[in-house]
Amino acid sequence: MYRERASRLPGAVVWTNTLTGDTNSGRVLPDGCMDLLWHEDRLLVAGPDTRAHLTGGGPSTWAGLRFGPGTAPALLGVPAHELRDQRVDLTDLWGAAEVRRLTARVRAAADPVTGIEELALRLAADTAGPDPALRVLVAALDAGRPVGATADELGIGARQLHRRSLVAFGYGPKTLARILRLRRALALARAGTPPAETAARTGYADQAHLSREVRALAGLPLRELLRGGGG
């Protein structure tokens, strides 16, 4: 069972997920974000996904903090594109002694979610915030604005925007736009909006276009994805 709440870190969400071992309970869809994870007494980092990530193995429990899009790279000290489609141990990014100290703090907290949240808040207190232009980009793309028009409004050239997006999100703005559009479409579909209407309201050419994007990014047909509840 998946549960989440807004974090005290602005723009972030803390969550727990108890997996049953079936395929969809561990299907994580792309969302333009990175996560700090706690699993089996270890701290890990989930890089930005370009396709559905399947958490293998049997029943297990995960906890995590999902940073807002573009926020994690500055806090973790690593460009997002270096972790694209990966789950890595925090010791791969930071020194082992530091990670042992942080792991002990999470372990000593009232619960893993609280421990991870406190860790993220301490990191944020010592780090500059994300690029303000990229925050505007995320908001514009999430509202369905075209990439080119948004870049023009920001006064950023296409190549520079792509480079900055790779560092912040792990991929270029067009891929980010696809992922955010899919999230909007799935929200409508899960609320009961028919597929054809969902496609029209979220900017797809037609229902077939929506179906292709769902398969490409989520790895399942829309109907099966909605039935299984991957998120």
Please tell me the predicted confidence (pLDDT) of residue 126. 87
> Where a domain ends, among 125, 147, 168?
125
Phi, psi for 219 (deg, rounded to 5): 80, 5
Q: Please indicate, yes or no, whether residues 23 and 94 belong to a single structural domain of this protein.
A: yes
Please tell me the predicted confidence (pLDDT) of residue 231. 63
Q: Please indicate, yes or no, whether residues 69 and 108 belong to a single structural domain of this protein.
A: yes
Q: Please indicate, yes or no, whether residues 167 and 117 belong to a single structural domain of this protein.
A: no
Q: Please indicate, yes or no, whether residues 69 and 141 belong to a single structural domain of this protein.
A: no
**At residue 62, what is the residue type?**
W
Please tell me the predicted confidence (pLDDT) of residue 230. 60
Q: Please indicate, yes or no, whether residues 56 and 144 belong to a single structural domain of this protein.
A: no
Reported as a single tens digit per residue, the pLDDT across 37-51 is: 999 999 999 999 999
- 3-state class of 230 per DSSP? coil
Please tell me the predicted confidence (pLDDT) of residue 117. 97
Q: Please indicate, yes or no, whether residues 6 and 118 belong to a single structural domain of this protein.
A: yes
Regions of the chain with pLDDT less than 50? none
- 3-state class of 205 per DSSP? coil
Q: Please indicate, yes or no, whether residues 115 and 150 belong to a single structural domain of this protein.
A: no
Please tell me the predicted confidence (pLDDT) of residue 129. 76
Q: Please indicate, yes or no, whether residues 78 and 149 belong to a single structural domain of this protein.
A: no
3 burial via Cβ count (<10 Å: 0-12, 13-18, 19+): exposed
Question: What are the distances in angstroms from CA 143 to CA 21, 201, 208?
Answer: 35, 11, 22
> Where a domain ends, among 97, 125, 153?
125
Q: What is the CATH number of the domain that holds 195?
A: 1.10.10.60
Phi, psi for 230 (deg, rounded to 5): -60, 150
Q: Please indicate, yes or no, whether residues 188 and 101 belong to a single structural domain of this protein.
A: no
Please tell me the predicted confidence (pLDDT) of residue 91. 97
> Where a domain ends, among 125, 141, 176?
125
Residue-range definition of the domain harbouring residue 102:
2-125
Q: Please indicate, yes or no, whether residues 90 and 204 belong to a single structural domain of this protein.
A: no
Q: What's the structural domain count of the chain? A: 2
Please tell me the predicted confidence (pLDDT) of residue 191. 96
Q: Please indicate, yes or no, whether residues 105 and 139 belong to a single structural domain of this protein.
A: no
Q: Please indicate, yes or no, whether residues 14 and 117 belong to a single structural domain of this protein.
A: yes
